[in-house]
Amino acid sequence: MENSKKIKITVGLLYLIAVSSFLLFLFSKFSFQDLSSIKIIQSNTDKLNDLKDNNFFSLILFFCIFTIAWVFLLGFGSPIGLIGGFVFGKWLGTFLVTLSLSIGALVLYSVGKYFLYDFLKNNLLTRFKNFDKIFEGNHFHVMIIFRFVGFVPFSIANLLPVIFNINMKNYFMGTFIGIMPSIFITCSLGSGLNNAIFKFENFPSITVLLSLPEIYLPIIAFISILIISIIIKKFFFR
């Protein structure tokens, strides 16, 4: 079996294990009735807020380590923004998630650079050979745009710069700045969900939920960034 297939299978198994472990933990602590009761969700959210108030820095440290490990093992960070916003709010959540994802990506980049360079070059260069000219420019600026556009999966975006010899400083800072707008949006949505939980006695319909400013504004912002990214991709990554 080729090495690329082995790596894909390994990543797939790690993802399956992570999701299965989370679901097993979730349903071992809560029944389906618990998860479908807004009162119980509100109660557990209150407990989470109390935990945050009493163990603020420990919770931040745990969250950052968890996020770094998540990105390193699974290569993507989409759910982390929602969790960060839900727990820490949109401002602190954005900073923590952006910093942790950037560090996790840098760790993954370092592993790729020092241990997997030949493998990555053989498997990615032919697929992304048109990036040669793009990465000939200012690496810092290119990394910001590359991360902001996000038109390749986050896991590939973490490793692709390896084959173009981007230095670690430009990689980290470009990643940090480039992913921050999208992270802010997901954290805002997570924070909005936290606030929305306490506005209802029963689960609201999707229509009612989408009518809340803390929900629909991040969605509009996400669509706007998506349109901007498509335009940038069309003119910059031709």
The token pair at 217 is 């504004």
Segments in the chain below pLDDT 70: 1-46, 48, 51, 73-78, 151, 200-204, 236-238
The pLDDT, as a whole number, for residue 1 is: 43
Query: Could you report the per-residue pLDDT of 155-213, keeping only the tens digit for each?
Result: 778 888 888 888 899 999 999 999 999 999 999 998 888 887 777 666 667 787 788 88
Q: Same domain for 117 and 106?
A: yes
Q: Same domain for 47 and 26?
A: no
Cα 109 to Cα 205: distance, rounded to the nearest angstrom: 43
Q: Same domain for 51 and 121?
A: yes
Q: Same domain for 8 and 77?
A: no
The token pair at 225 is 């960034």
Cα 94 to Cα 177: distance, rounded to the nearest angstrom: 11
Q: Same domain for 188 and 124?
A: yes
Instruction: State the total domains in the chain.
Output: 2
Cα 48 to Cα 222: distance, rounded to the nearest angstrom: 27
- Residue 23 structural domain: 1-30
Q: Same domain for 79 and 189?
A: yes
The pLDDT, as a whole number, for residue 123 is: 78
pTM comes to 0.77
Buried b (16+ CB within 10 A) or exposed e, 176-198: bbbbbbbbbbbbbbbbbbbeebe
